[in-house]
Structure 1
């Protein structure tokens, strides 16, 4: 049969199926499947029909033919893996689900199924990598396990996957704890170890203050107060003395109409940046020009913007600011337009403080941390623990701009800094390895064991 007649026969079979002539449709499809090489779409359609009537073995044979004829069609490969799993052929199913994920990097279901099957057969790291890719591809999976709109089976599958991934993080974190134990006595490590047990839900969180709820990492026993007075830090006068230089660079940016981007980034490819871990809804500020920023450092990564602010960066680099790979520091100009309101929310952790230097401060601006409201002053520092509930507003008649950076909590120990930096370094290396679209270690581990 010519290619054109094959396509015409397949279209006729599809029409027969739509109009309820299944016997006639199957006869056409079988003729197409018998060609050399087999016509893969016909094999696939027959495989689906066979599985529906309970003939999984025939479905498997037809899917083998379809994938042999067209090995790079993700839908064929996924269905082959599905039937293999149904028949208990878990080794082959795992490899074919992983193969599907390489062919279709958006196929979260294939990643989850491959990850769990690899984990079950003893390839814990390859399994965790696929599960992590699934979460990075679809961040909403974190909430899906409790989403009552999903079927119980889907919730259970996602819940099991998240538990397996959590076990990997615990194994990874144990390496940090072991390394730290070789450097510091137990009394220097106790808070860090407890913080990690709380993070992995091995210990119940005991908050240091009723209005403090860090969304990511809680260090128990660390001094908890919403505001920290300037006398706590020996570098405050150095930063305030540089006000004119910092303000001059800000004025130049404003004169050049430099781009300040929305602090809450607009959704990209379905990713929702408007919800925090604790469920705070920032959708009113999503992609909004009401609250914008000009970052020199973001999530520990230096921006090209720093070249436009050399004097500001020189001051910042003279400070003992927190550093952790792909996480800290954050250094940026924060702009809040008249009428802007940053809703009450919590920060990520309580081991570092947020610092503001007032630059352009109209009347009518304020910031509440915990139960106390303070007001920015031009050229003056405010220091607070953003793991307390906090909010800010601009009820003035022009924009408010502050320089924001970070400082370690005054109580933090060197052992804790070392532990955090090791923790974030391992986390960053792992997440880079698992980024969607990168080459998967699971391919190397197919048909093997860790």
Structure 2
């Protein structure tokens, strides 16, 4: 037993002295009798690499990966060896595994340069892979197939429903819905000029009735939100937690008439909820998810603004005159006004169309029970 320990000691000393030939000789001899767990396989691999013996180096690195499959150094060296063998797919696979693990446990300082090379190589290989796929498939693809290809190549991130409170299983993972599928929007849009005039009147009176959307609730912790009590994002409520806000409703009869066409949930103490949502220049509603996936959020643009956008999952849209947006807010989303004009939308919630009447009623009872619990 002492022989292999002495050989390992001599081999490591030779490697430190920049003598790869003796390092490889001593460590190779040690590997014949040493238990695999006692062997410095990466040291042997580095010695063999210095001598240009890539095959022997890979054998040593493979032995280390048998013992420690997530060893960052071994994964990086294995990737480099596969790269030298022109095995691009394997090289990328090992490089990506190394990069993912390094994000958790770090990279050995001596391999930092190889870590940086791995990141560049993997990105370039991904570009080549994407070009190969596009050359094979062509660019005349449907929007769905284009997205699928971008997910495959890492150009787009996958976002799924992640409601913070209540999850209803089996619903389609759909970011935006087509307004044409909701015929009740037509009579609402017919009232758009009157709603715009009502907004103009309210703003002419000093925007009285608008208040920060993110506020401090009574007897509850303050939300951890950078827009807490911030006038950059304000709301003018028509319905709030199931009750009409009488003063605002009286000032805006056309808007209330428009909302009467929408199939808003009716849950005592919870909904309907409907308000003008006003976003000032520079305001950023940071990424978040809604409380439940049983509703859609609807936006009817009342006052559009350039350079103002809404991202839902991996898809970003702007607000256009006369074009509602309907989206699933249980998917990660954010909004930002990067222009120099304010944006105002009429925001309200509706039931997801896939949920039948019986389950809607049951969901309503769940939230009524939650509200009644003391």
Question: What TM-score does the superposition give when structure 2 sets the normalisation length?
Answer: 0.55
User: Does the CA-based 8 Å contact 2:312-2:331 persist in structure 1?
Assistant: yes
| Residue aligning to 1:259 | 209
User: Does the CA-based 8 Å contact 2:168-2:294 persist in structure 1?
Assistant: yes
| Separation (CA, whole Å) in 2 of partners of 1:354 and 1:238 | 18
| Residue aligning to 2:343 | 400
Question: Does residue 1:238 correspond to 2:187, yes or no?
Answer: yes
User: Does the CA-based 8 Å contact 2:290-2:331 persist in structure 1?
Assistant: yes
User: Does the CA-based 8 Å contact 2:159-2:314 persist in structure 1?
Assistant: no
Aligned-pair distance for 1:272? 2.7
User: Does the CA-based 8 Å contact 1:214-1:387 persist in structure 2?
Assistant: yes
| Separation (CA, whole Å) in 2 of partners of 1:210 and 1:400 | 26
Question: Does residue 1:302 correspond to 2:252, yes or no?
Answer: no
CA deviation map 1:65-87 (0-9, x unaligned): xxxxxxxxxxxxxxxxxxxxxxx
Secondary structure of 1:285's aligned partner: coil
Following TM superposition, the consecutive aligned residue runs of length 4 or more in structure 1 with deviations greater than 4 angstroms are: none
Question: Does residue 1:288 correspond to 2:237, yes or no?
Answer: no
Describe how 1:10-21 pairs up with structure 2 within 5 A: none
Aligned-pair distance for 1:245? 1.2
User: Does the CA-based 8 Å contact 1:353-1:383 persist in structure 2?
Assistant: yes
User: Does the CA-based 8 Å contact 1:339-1:395 persist in structure 2?
Assistant: yes
State the number of aligned residues.
215
| Residue aligning to 1:148 | none
CA deviation map 1:402-436 (0-9, x unaligned): 100111111011111111222223333x24xx4xx
| Separation (CA, whole Å) in 1 of partners of 2:326 and 2:223 | 25
Describe how 1:65-76 pairs up with structure 2 within 5 A: none
Describe how 1:101-120 pairs up with structure 2 within 5 A: none
Describe how 1:26-105 pairs up with structure 2 within 5 A: none
Aligned-pair distance for 1:268? 5.5
| Residue aligning to 2:329 | 386
| Residue aligning to 1:273 | 222
| Residue aligning to 1:224 | 173
Aligned-pair distance for 1:318? 2.4
User: Does the C-alpha gap of structure 1 residues 244 and 406 become closer, same or farther in structure 2, counting only changes over 3 Å?
Assistant: same
| Separation (CA, whole Å) in 2 of partners of 1:414 and 1:363 | 40
Aligned-pair distance for 1:334? 0.5
RMSD over aligned Cα, in angstroms? 1.6
User: Does the C-alpha gap of structure 1 residues 267 and 426 become closer, same or farther in structure 2, counting only changes over 3 Å?
Assistant: closer
| Separation (CA, whole Å) in 2 of partners of 1:290 and 1:392 | 12
CA deviation map 1:26-76 (0-9, x unaligned): xxxxxxxxxxxxxxxxxxxxxxxxxxxxxxxxxxxxxxxxxxxxxxxxxxx
| Separation (CA, whole Å) in 1 of partners of 2:281 and 2:221 | 26
Aligned-pair distance for 1:252? 1.0
User: Does the CA-based 8 Å contact 1:232-1:410 persist in structure 2?
Assistant: no
Aligned-pair distance for 1:261? 0.6
Secondary structure of 1:417's aligned partner: helix
Aligned-pair distance for 1:210? 4.3
Segments of structure 1 that go 5 or more residues without pairing to the other structure are 1-208, 276-281, 435-450
User: Does the CA-based 8 Å contact 2:188-2:261 persist in structure 1?
Assistant: no
Segments of structure 2 that go 5 or more residues without pairing to the other structure are 1-157
User: Does the CA-based 8 Å contact 1:367-1:390 persist in structure 2?
Assistant: yes
Structure with max Cα Rg:
2
Which one of 290, 293, 300 corresponds to residue 357 of structure 1?
300
| Residue aligning to 1:37 | none
| Separation (CA, whole Å) in 2 of partners of 1:242 and 1:267 | 34
